[in-house]
Amino acid sequence: MVYYKTEEEVELIRKSCLLVCKALAQVASQIRPGVTGLQMDQIAEELIKDHNALPAFKGYRGFPATLCISVNDQVVHGIPTDVEFKDGDVVSIDCGTYMNEFFGDSAYTFALGEVKKETMQLLEVTNTSLYKGIAAAVAGQRIGDIGYAVQEYCENTYKYGVVRELVGHGIGRSLHEPPEVPNYGKRGRGAKLKEGLVIAIEPMVNLGKRGVKQLDDGWTVASKDGTMSAHYEHTICVQKDKALILSDHSLIEAEIKKNSNVNMVAIRSTEVSGA
């Protein structure tokens, strides 16, 4: 069953999402070659708890950490480890919080040090595709319009592989609610979008083919062909003319600008305008 949110509920979800982005911004200020995923996880967990909130992922279906940290060919759901990040690594970090009875969710991919040009393009295109999906998320459109916007841009324009097995989702009093929000689809197909629908849109895109595999830890999903992967996520609320973005990546990007070990990932704004 799809739950539509009141303005008051949307505001509470926004507060949870902003705390997610504050945690990711704190990570952005510290992440660099030589630090570990476990260190980043501890930083995020402490900040979340300091705000009288709970890490949404820790303990969820048995997941052992606050952050999902997925490196290079890992797509999502990576478990933080004590392995140091290296120069040239691409690190996707997904975070969730639970506060005031509502969940928040957002993700960002960090490019550390000297990253290959083709990899930086993957990150830029994936990040841009997120905003193309958001541009399609207005009342009267359908779920398929969101997926079409992401897929058309990433696969047809840039020949990347859009992951099919993992999708975005509704969010509110539960971390995952209906409807599912695929990053592929056809225009005019799927459930109609109505005002008050809160969803997490999260393109997961591989540099190579779209196939994925699950690793032996039972959580981490990686590209099947071993190519780099990128993942960006916003929680948004569907409105009449333009979606309201409840998470705030500008907090993260402000810290990246101050961290010489991390590359800024641009949004191709001229390409978003055509969404």
pLDDT per residue as tens digits for the range 232-246: 999 999 999 999 999
Q: Is the pTM of this model over 0.95?
A: yes
Residue 273: what pLDDT? Answer: 61
User: Is 181 part of any domain?
Assistant: yes
Mean pLDDT of 112-138: 98
Tell me how far CA of residue 68 lies from CA of 77, 132, 192, in angstroms.
5, 24, 31
User: Could you report the per-residue pLDDT of 42-65, keeping only the tens digit for each?
Assistant: 999 999 999 999 999 999 999 999
User: Could you report the per-residue pLDDT of 174-217, keeping only the tens digit for each?
Assistant: 999 999 999 999 999 999 999 999 999 999 999 999 999 999 99
User: Is 73 part of any domain?
Assistant: yes
User: Is 2 part of any domain?
Assistant: no
User: Could you report the per-residue pLDDT of 15-38, keeping only the tens digit for each?
Assistant: 999 999 999 999 999 999 999 999
- What total number of domains does the chain contain? 1
User: Is 117 part of any domain?
Assistant: yes
- What range does the domain containing 63 cover? 7-272
User: Is 22 part of any domain?
Assistant: yes
CATH number of the domain within which 170 lies: 3.90.230.10
User: Is 260 part of any domain?
Assistant: yes
pLDDT of 275 over the 70 cut: no
Class of residue 240 by CB neighbours under 10 A (exposed 0-12, middle 13-18, buried 19+): exposed
